[in-house]
């Protein structure tokens, strides 16, 4: 059959430099594109619905320098020809034939690393669980596409014993699957796609899925979408009614779950370990079309997973990432300021344990180096120390430039650096004010300004955490300057959160109370003699020591805030109490503010 | 130094060597699946077979995150449990036998298979051994030395875990013990040794010193001549490491002779020397 739209699709593929070839199988021709050195491990990318191989263009480009990247248009999509008749031409068995034909053509001797998105992942699950492909697949990265067999069992289990939770899960996924019901109606989907829906689809993707405009989707979209309806009609009912009981993966699987997927519930994968042993889980705060919206993160996770399952694997780097946050932060780049001690160091370690790469920034070069060294030992694939004064705008600009060129764009920024200043307002000199505002406020401003800009320009999301303080909403006559700086940080975070929300960048403010760190032993006390200052430092340190709230718990709150994208997080009971009072009984806080601290 | 003094030190040195030999022998026999209770029993039996009849305290064994005393709230949690050793897990053996009336109290940190983090902790303990000796020779107050060790740990990025010991001690005095045919123990501590410690505490209370080297006010005095079992204990996110050995403090005016480690030929010291 003719492919009028396909020719146009070829000119704006976004797959610059790709070598094309045609693979004939079962009476159809598949359009296959290859990038990179064929001697390298082969990564085979399979697209979803309604898409063509061009959905992968950004990911493929990022993988091409390390791997032999192969993409193909699924039968009936893009420039591949469609089966005649369409009904019965899209069964998973036939799609498996296509995969084997492509794999044999591009990598006859070595197994391929399979990557699937959406329907590409659904069919890849079939490839990776049927016996005849054994030995042809080295690894499989799945995103937004469950195995229909696993899904069938998932539904049966929940329908057979519908506890409230299970019934809720079933209804939730049932509601998200509305489009599947529509696709089972005859003719109407085809008419819609070839008519108004096909025309408006790019706009819909931009508005709802936040996909940047450009060459995607290609002009073959109406055709792809109309043909692709048969993917559903040929397979969904048959497989869900009688799911295979032997659908065990014979290759290692990495599962990437976008947490904001409008079509697939995260709960679908709850029992996946029983089908895919040694499953590696990743979560990504993004919507359904991750190959378009998060290409950097995908390329990094795919690359790491492929290398880990190539001959020899990755070199041993000590401790493996562990803990509840490993699936979210593994491989991400996290920059922490004030990382030579206290909350900053604990936060860097918590991210390192989750497998993130760490940039530890501090004025204290030795302390920062120490943090980086230990971070590498507890699970960070890489960690660097960068000595810098956050209050120095030019130094921060140099730092931002260096980090961007040498380590990459920061995924999570933690503005933690801060200094303590205590004493009456009338005793606080202009010099004191400048010092505390430079670090506590300007440090945060510079961090957000420089690294936030890089995040926004990359357009692939991210998160900024600013460490404010309970002093941001608890007035005190002992801490006028410090509280002012922290209140500014809190408001800055709230404003920035509103500004960056549209770009998928979250901003959180953490408000700890009394935490046992050495901020007390370096704090400045105004209006007293040197000896008295030293005495007060010791006394405060002792009191904070008695309170003994560990910075590790604050670090835990930081990671949780990023995962949940929380706006303001008070940590420690006194901070939560003060937050509550500030809303319901501000008068009580004002009375507390007049109390003389026991120093 | 008098001959009697030399003979006494030799006695302590021998029992400390015996204790470390026991720790090394038991550590070499540890395999995946061995429980803390079994490891403690192995130490007890090894030493019993070599003539040990009394204890300062019965042998302890801690595996995995129990080496960092994770989640310890009550002292009973120090006693060996059914926790099984796994590959890559750190462990600590802590034993204090009394042999021919001489007491030793040693701590041996090891790891089943390679663990780079544990290696780092062990290496970082060296600075603490040097710091403690230097400041004891300077006759700084024990409380101040304790705080300096604390600060060094924080700078290294670690948590102070000896704080979890009874009274938060980094060290305690040990002494000779009378040999009795019947030597009972309560809560794992030998009654003879406890008696000696209690006597010291009573005298010390009158004279303004304490046999317990703690972060509290009662330790705000210069080092008291005698033998101190010093046990700095580092913890870092579920991994702990310590050493414990005898520091001799004398009333000599010569700084070199005023304080010294009883024995420099111990497993952890040899390990540091090999690394250089």
Chain B interface, mutation test: which of A318, A342, A373, A376, most B Cβ atoms within 10 Å?
Answer: A318
Answer whether B116 touches A (CB < 8 Å): yes
- Strand arrangement, sheet containing A68-72: A19-25, A28-35, A68-72, A42-46, A112-117, A137-143, A253-258, A280-284
CA–CA dist B189, B192 (Å, integer): 9
**Could you tell me which of B233, B187, B194, B231 has the C-alpha nearest to residue B78?**
B187
Q: At what angle do helices A221-241 and A4-11 cross, to 10 degrees?
A: 110
pLDDT the model gives residue A417: 96
Q: Is the peptide bond before A85 cis (omega within 30 degrees of 0)?
A: yes
CA–CA dist A102, A140 (Å, integer): 16
Q: In terms of CA atoms, which chain A residue is nearest residue B239? A: A378
Answer whether B198 touches A (CB < 8 Å): no
**Could you tell me which of B263, B105, B76 has the C-alpha nearest to residue B177?**
B105
Co-location of A152 and A244 in the same domain: yes
Co-location of A286 and A155 in the same domain: yes
pLDDT digit string, tens, across residues B178-204: 888 888 888 889 998 899 999 999 999
**Could you tell me which of A302, A267, A263, A260 has the C-alpha nearest to residue A284?**
A260
CA–CA dist A115, B36 (Å, integer): 46
* Nearest CB partner across the interface for A378, out of B117, B155, B156: B117
Q: A441-476 as b/e, with b when 16 or more CB fall inside 10 Å?
A: bbbbbbbbebbbebbbebebbbbbbbbbbbbbbbbb
Q: In terms of CA atoms, which chain B residue is nearest residue A339? A: B157
User: In whole angstroms, how far apart are CA A42 and each of A54, A303, A372, A505, B129?
Assistant: 18, 11, 34, 33, 54
Query: Cβ of B117 and A518 within 8 Å?
Result: no
The residues that bridge with A506 in the sheet, in sequence order, are A463
| Residue A538 maps to a domain | no
Query: Cβ of A318 and B116 within 8 Å?
Result: yes
Token pair of A432 as six digits? 């004191």
Query: Cβ of A374 and B155 within 8 Å?
Result: no
pLDDT the model gives residue A17: 84
Co-location of A384 and A485 in the same domain: yes
Provide the 3-class DSSP secondary structure of residue A91.
coil
| Residue A319 maps to a domain | no
Residues 330-359 of A with CB under 8 A from B: 341, 345, 349, 353
pLDDT the model gives residue A314: 52
Quick one: A546 exposed, middle or buried, by C-beta within 10 A (0-12, 13-18, 19+)? exposed
Across chain A, which has 599 residues, the per-10-residue mean pLDDT values are 37 72 93 95 95 94 95 95 93 96 95 96 96 94 96 94 94 94 94 94 91 86 94 94 94 95 93 90 94 94 92 56 85 96 96 96 96 95 96 96 96 96 95 96 97 95 97 95 97 97 95 93 92 93 90 96 96 96 94 90
pLDDT the model gives residue A9: 37
Task: Count up the domains in chain A and report the number.
Answer: 2
User: How close does chain B come to A446, measured CA to CA in Å?
Assistant: 27
| Residue A539 maps to a domain | no
* Contacts for B195 with CB less than 8 Å, ≥ 6 apart: none
Chain A to chain B, count of Cβ pairs less than 8 Å apart?
Answer: 27
Token pair of A459 as six digits? 């357009």
**Could you tell me which of A475, A469, A466, A422 has the C-alpha nearest to residue A582?**
A475
Helix (H) or strand (E) segment spanning residue A59: helix A57-63
| Polymer length in residues for chain B | 276
User: How close does chain B come to A350, measured CA to CA in Å?
Assistant: 9
User: How close does chain B come to A541, measured CA to CA in Å?
Assistant: 12
| Residue A524 maps to a domain | no
Give the DSSP letter string of A262-306.
SSS-GGGGTTGGGTSTTPEEEEES--S-HHHH-HHHHHHHHHHHH
Q: What is the largest CA-CA distance in chain A?
A: 92
Residues 214-273 of B with CB under 8 A from A: 236-237
Co-location of A299 and A348 in the same domain: no
Residues 42-101 of B with CB under 8 A from A: none
**Could you tell me which of A336, A335, A357, A333 has the C-alpha nearest to residue A345?**
A336
* Nearest CB partner across the interface for A349, out of B154, B155, B237: B237
Q: In terms of CA atoms, which chain A residue is nearest residue B114? A: A318
Write out chain B residues lying below 8 Å of A378, CB-based: 117, 236-237
Provide the 3-class DSSP secondary structure of residue A169.
helix
**Domain interval for residue A69:** 4-308
Co-location of A247 and A138 in the same domain: yes
- DSSP letter, residue A41: P
The sign of the torsion formed by the CA atoms of A397, A488, A569, A261 equals negative
Write out chain B residues lying below 8 Å of A371, CB-based: 157
Write out chain A residues lying below 8 Å of B236, CB-based: 374, 378
CA–CA dist A529, A537 (Å, integer): 12
Chain B interface, mutation test: which of A317, A374, A515, most B Cβ atoms within 10 Å?
Answer: A374
Q: State how beta strands B106-111 and B90-99 pair.
A: antiparallel
Question: Cα(first)–Cα(last) distance of chain B, in Å?
Answer: 33
Q: Where a domain ends, among A308, A337, A357? A: A308
Query: Cβ of A345 and B157 within 8 Å?
Result: yes
Helix (H) or strand (E) segment spanning residue A58: helix A57-63
| Residue A264 maps to a domain | yes
Co-location of A124 and A254 in the same domain: yes
Answer whether A370 touches B (CB < 8 Å): yes
Mean pLDDT score, B35-64: 95
User: How close does chain B come to A533, measured CA to CA in Å?
Assistant: 19
Contact B64, B235 (CB under 8 A): no
Query: Cβ of B157 and A371 within 8 Å?
Result: yes
CA–CA dist B104, B110 (Å, integer): 19
Write out chain A residues lying below 8 Å of B156, CB-based: 370
CA–CA dist A67, A488 (Å, integer): 48
- Just list the catalytic residues of A: 482
Q: State how beta strands A568-571 and A505-512 pair.
A: parallel
Answer whether B123 touches A (CB < 8 Å): no
Write out chain A residues lying below 8 Å of B117, CB-based: 318-319, 374, 377-378
Query: Cβ of B237 and A371 within 8 Å?
Result: no
- In this structure, what CATH number is given to the domain that contains residue A446? 3.40.50.720
Q: At what angle do helices A365-377 and A342-353 cross, to 10 degrees?
A: 20
CA–CA dist A288, A245 (Å, integer): 28
Chain A interface, mutation test: which of B69, B87, B237, B238, most A Cβ atoms within 10 Å?
Answer: B237
| Residue A298 maps to a domain | yes
CA–CA dist A216, A343 (Å, integer): 44
Contact A558, A347 (CB under 8 A): yes
**Could you tell me which of A321, A259, A347 has the C-alpha nearest to residue A556?**
A347
Co-location of A163 and A245 in the same domain: yes
Query: Cβ of A377 and B120 within 8 Å?
Result: yes
pLDDT digit string, tens, across residues B265-276: 999 999 999 987
ipTM of the complex: 0.90
Answer whether A374 touches B (CB < 8 Å): yes
CA–CA dist A138, A135 (Å, integer): 7
Domain boundaries, chain B: 3-275
Co-location of A200 and A335 in the same domain: no
Contact A13, A218 (CB under 8 A): yes
CA–CA dist B55, B44 (Å, integer): 10
Token pair of A400 as six digits? 């931002």
Query: Cβ of A378 and B155 within 8 Å?
Result: no
A21-25, A57-61, B4-8, B83-87: the lowest-pLDDT one: B4-8
pLDDT the model gives residue A398: 97
* Nearest CB partner across the interface for B117, out of A319, A341, A518: A319
The sign of the torsion formed by the CA atoms of B156, B162, B167, B171 equals negative
Provide the 3-class DSSP secondary structure of residue B44.
helix
Q: Which of 3.40.50.2300, 3.90.230.10, 3.60.20.10, 3.40.50.720 would CATH assign to domain B3-275? A: 3.90.230.10
User: How close does chain B come to A210, measured CA to CA in Å?
Assistant: 40
Write out chain A residues lying below 8 Å of B120, CB-based: 373-374, 377
Write out chain B residues lying below 8 Å of A367, CB-based: 155
Q: Using CA atoms in the order A90, A92, A93, A98, what is the torsion angle rounded to 10 degrees?
A: 70
User: How close does chain B come to A366, measured CA to CA in Å?
Assistant: 9
Q: In terms of CA atoms, which chain B residue is nearest residue A343? A: B157
Query: Cβ of B157 and A370 within 8 Å?
Result: yes
pLDDT the model gives residue B67: 96
Contact A32, A105 (CB under 8 A): yes
pLDDT the model gives residue B4: 84
pLDDT digit string, tens, across residues B203-257: 999 999 999 999 999 999 999 999 999 999 999 999 999 999 999 999 999 989 9
Alpha helices in A415-566 (DSSP H): 430-437, 443-458, 480-500, 519-522, 530-547, 551-564
Answer whether A516 touches B (CB < 8 Å): no
User: In whole angstroms, how far apart are CA A142 and each of A94, A115, A148, A210, A253?
Assistant: 20, 6, 13, 22, 7
Co-location of A36 and A80 in the same domain: yes
Q: State how beta strands A28-35 and B259-261 pair.
A: unpaired
CA–CA dist B177, A394 (Å, integer): 67
Answer whether A371 touches B (CB < 8 Å): yes
Co-location of A284 and A351 in the same domain: no
Q: Is the peptide bond before A50 cis (omega within 30 degrees of 0)?
A: yes
Query: Cβ of A374 and B236 within 8 Å?
Result: yes
Q: State how beta strands A112-117 and A253-258 pair.
A: unpaired
Token pair of A556 as six digits? 């835990």
Token pair of A562 as six digits? 């990023």
* Nearest CB partner across the interface for A353, out of B156, B157, B237: B237
CA–CA dist A168, A481 (Å, integer): 51
* Contacts for B48 with CB less than 8 Å, ≥ 6 apart: none
User: How close does chain A come to B121, measured CA to CA in Å?
Assistant: 10
CA–CA dist B118, B229 (Å, integer): 23
CA–CA dist A12, A31 (Å, integer): 15
Co-location of A58 and A200 in the same domain: yes
The residues that bridge with A561 in the sheet, in sequence order, are none
pLDDT the model gives residue A313: 54
Contact B174, B56 (CB under 8 A): yes
User: In whole angstroms, how far apart are CA B89 and each of B33, B83, B85?
Assistant: 11, 11, 7
pLDDT the model gives residue A277: 84
* Nearest CB partner across the interface for A370, out of B116, B117, B156: B156
- In this structure, what CATH number is given to the domain that contains residue A49? 3.40.50.1820
CA–CA dist B36, B22 (Å, integer): 16
Q: In terms of CA atoms, which chain B residue is nearest residue A552? A: B237
Q: In terms of CA atoms, which chain B residue is nearest residue A369? A: B156
Write out chain A residues lying below 8 Å of B157, CB-based: 345, 349, 370-371, 374
Co-location of A143 and A266 in the same domain: yes
Provide the 3-class DSSP secondary structure of residue A368.
helix
User: How close does chain A come to B272, measured CA to CA in Å?
Assistant: 19
Query: Cβ of B116 and A341 within 8 Å?
Result: no
């Amino acid at each position: 059959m003719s492919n009028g739209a396909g020719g146009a699709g070829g000119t704006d593929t976004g797959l610059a430099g790709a070598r094309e070839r045609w693979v004939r199988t079962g009476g159809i021709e598949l359009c296959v594109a290859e990038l990179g050195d064929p001697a390298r491990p082969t990564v085979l990318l399979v697209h979803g619905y309604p898409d063509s191989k061009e959905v992968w263009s950004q990911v493929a480009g990022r993988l091409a320098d390390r791997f032999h990247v192969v993409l193909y248009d699924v039968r009936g999509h893009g420039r591949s020809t469609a089966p005649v008749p369409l009904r019965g031409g899209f069964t998973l068995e036939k799609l498996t034939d296509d995969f084997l034909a492509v794999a044999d053509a591009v990598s006859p001797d070595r197994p391929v690393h399979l990557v699937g998105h959406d329907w590409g992942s659904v069919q890849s699950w079939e490839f990776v669980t049927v016996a005849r492909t054994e030995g042809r697949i080295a690894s499989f990265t799945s995103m937004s596409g469950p195995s229909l067999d696993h899904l069938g069992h998932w539904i049966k289990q929940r329908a057979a014993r519908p506890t409230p939770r299970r019934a809720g899960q079933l209804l939730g996924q049932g509601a998200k699957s509305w489009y599947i019901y529509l696709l089972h109606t005859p003719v109407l989907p085809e008419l819609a796609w070839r008519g108004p829906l096909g025309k408006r689809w790019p706009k819909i993707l931009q508005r709802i899925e936040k996909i940047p405009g450009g060459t995607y989707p290609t002009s073959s979209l109406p055709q792809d979408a109309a043909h692709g309806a048969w993917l559903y009609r040929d397979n969904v009912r048959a497989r869900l009614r009688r799911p295979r009981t032997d659908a065990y993966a014979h290759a290692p699987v990495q599962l990437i779950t976008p947490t904001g997927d409008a079509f697939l519930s995260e709960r679908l994968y709850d029992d996946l370990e029983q089908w895919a042993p040694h499953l590696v889980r990743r979560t990504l705060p993004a919507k359904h079309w991750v190959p378009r919206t998060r290409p950097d993160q995908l390329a990094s996770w795919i690359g790491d997973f492929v290398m880990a399952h190539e001959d020899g694997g990755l070199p041993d780097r000590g401790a493996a990432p562990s803990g509840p946050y490993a699936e979210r932060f593994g491989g991400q780049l996290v920059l922490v300021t004030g990382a030579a001690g206290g909350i900053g160091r604990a936060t860097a370690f918590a991210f390192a344990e989750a497998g993130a790469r760490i940039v530890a920034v501090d004025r204290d070069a030795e302390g920062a180096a120490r943090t980086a060294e230990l971070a590498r030992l507890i699970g960070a694939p890489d960690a660097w120390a960068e000595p810098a004064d956050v209050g120095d705008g030019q130094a921060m600009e140099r730092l931002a430039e260096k980090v961007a060129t040498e380590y990459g764009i920061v995924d999570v920024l933690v503005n933690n650096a801060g200094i303590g200043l205590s004493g009456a307002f009338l005793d606080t000199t202009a010099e004191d004010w400048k010092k505390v505002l430079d670090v506590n406020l300007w440090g945060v401003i510079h961090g957000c300004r420089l690294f936030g800009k890089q995040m926004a320009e990359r357009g692939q999301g991210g998160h900024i955490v600013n460490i404010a303080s309970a002093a941001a909403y608890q007035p005190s006559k002992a801490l006028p300057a410090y509280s002012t700086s922290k209140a500014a940080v809190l408001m800055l975070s709230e404003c920035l959160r509103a500004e960056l929300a549209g770009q998928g960048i979250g901003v959180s403010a953490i408000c700890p109370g009394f935490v046992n760190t050495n901020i007390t032993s370096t704090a400045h006390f105004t209006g007293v003699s040197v000896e008295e200052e030293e005495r007060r430092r010791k006394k405060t340190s002792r009191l904070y020591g008695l309170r003994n709230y560990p910075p590790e718990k604050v670090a835990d709150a930081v990671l949780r805030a990023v995962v949940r994208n929380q706006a303001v997080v008070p940590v420690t009971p006194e901070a939560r109490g003060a937050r509550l009072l500030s809303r319901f009984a501000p008068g009580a806080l004002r009375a507390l503010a007049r109390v003389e601290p026991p120093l | 130094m008098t001959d009697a003094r030399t003979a006494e030190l030799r006695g302590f040195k021998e029992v400390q060597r015996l204790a470390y030999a026991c720790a090394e022998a038991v550590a070499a026999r540890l395999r995946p699946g061995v429980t803390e209770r079994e490891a403690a029993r192995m130490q007890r039996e090894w030493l019993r077979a070599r003539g040990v009849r009394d204890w300062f305290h019965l042998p302890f064994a801690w595996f995995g995150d129990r080496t960092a005393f994770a989640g310890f709230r009550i002292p009973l949690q120090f006693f060996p449990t059914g926790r099984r050793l796994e590959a890559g897990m750190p462990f600590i053996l802590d034993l204090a036998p009394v042999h021919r009336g001489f007491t030793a109290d040693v701590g041996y940190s090891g790891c089943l298979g390679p663990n780079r983090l544990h290696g780092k902790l062990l290496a970082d303990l060296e600075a603490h051994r040097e710091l403690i000796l230097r400041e004891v020779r300077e006759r700084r107050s024990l409380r101040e030395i304790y705080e300096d060790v604390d600060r060094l740990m924080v700078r290294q990025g670690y948590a102070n875990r000896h704080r979890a010991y009874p009274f938060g001690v980094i060290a305690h005095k040990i002494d000779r013990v009378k040999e009795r045919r019947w030597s009972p123990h309560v809560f794992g501590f030998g009654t003879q040794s406890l008696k000696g410690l209690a006597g010291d505490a009573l005298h010390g209370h009158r004279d303004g010193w304490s046999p317990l080297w703690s972060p509290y006010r009662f330790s705000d005095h210069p080092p008291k001549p005698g033998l101190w079992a010093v046990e700095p204990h580092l913890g870092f996110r579920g991994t702990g490491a310590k050493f414990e050995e005898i520091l001799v403090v004398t009333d000599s005016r010569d700084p070199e002779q005023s304080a010294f480690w009883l024995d420099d030929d111990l497993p952890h010291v040899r390990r540091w020397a090999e690394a250089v």
